[in-house]
Amino acid sequence: MRFAITSKGDSKSNTLMHKMKSYLLDFNLIYDDEQPDIVISVGGDGTLLYAFHRYSSRLDKTAFVGVHTGHLGFYADWVPEEIEKLVIAIAKTPFQVVEYPLLEVIVRYQNGGRETRYLALNESTVKAVNGTFVMDVEIRGQHFERFRGDGLCLSTPSGSTAYNKALGGAILHPSLPAIQLAEMASINNKVFRTVGSPLVLPAHHACLLKPVNEPDFKITIDHLSLLHKDVKSIQFRVADEKIRFARFRPFPFWKRVHDSFVAD
- The catalytic residue positions are 45
To the nearest whole angstrom, how small is the minimum distance from the Cβ of residue 73 to ligand NAD? Answer: 5
Q: Is 150 assigned to a binding site? A: yes
Total site size for ligand NAD, rule CB under 6 A: 16
Residues 68-107 that bind ligand NAD (CB under 6 A): 73-74
**Amino acid in position 154:** L
Q: How far is the CB of 45 from ligand NAD (least distance, A)?
A: 3
Distance CA(185)–CA(181), nearest Å, equals 13
Nearer to ligand NAD among residue 143 and residue 223 (C-beta) = 223
45 annotated binding-site participant: yes
> Is 212:204 a contact under the CB 8 Å cutoff?
no
Which residue from 161, 179, 209, 231 is in contact with ligand NAD, where contact means CB under 6 A?
A: 161
Q: Does 123 bind ligand NAD (CB under 6 A)?
A: yes
Q: Rounded to the nearest whole angstrom, what is the least distance from the CB of residue 56 to ligand NAD in the complex?
A: 14
115 is in an annotated binding site: no
Residue 212 to residue 214: CA distance in whole angstroms:
7
Name residue 169's amino acid. G
Listed in sequence order, the DSSP H helices in the chain are 11-26, 45-54, 83-92, 163-166, 253-257
Distance, CA of 110 to chain centre: 27
Q: Name the binding residues for NAD(+).
A: 45-46, 122-123, 148, 150, 185
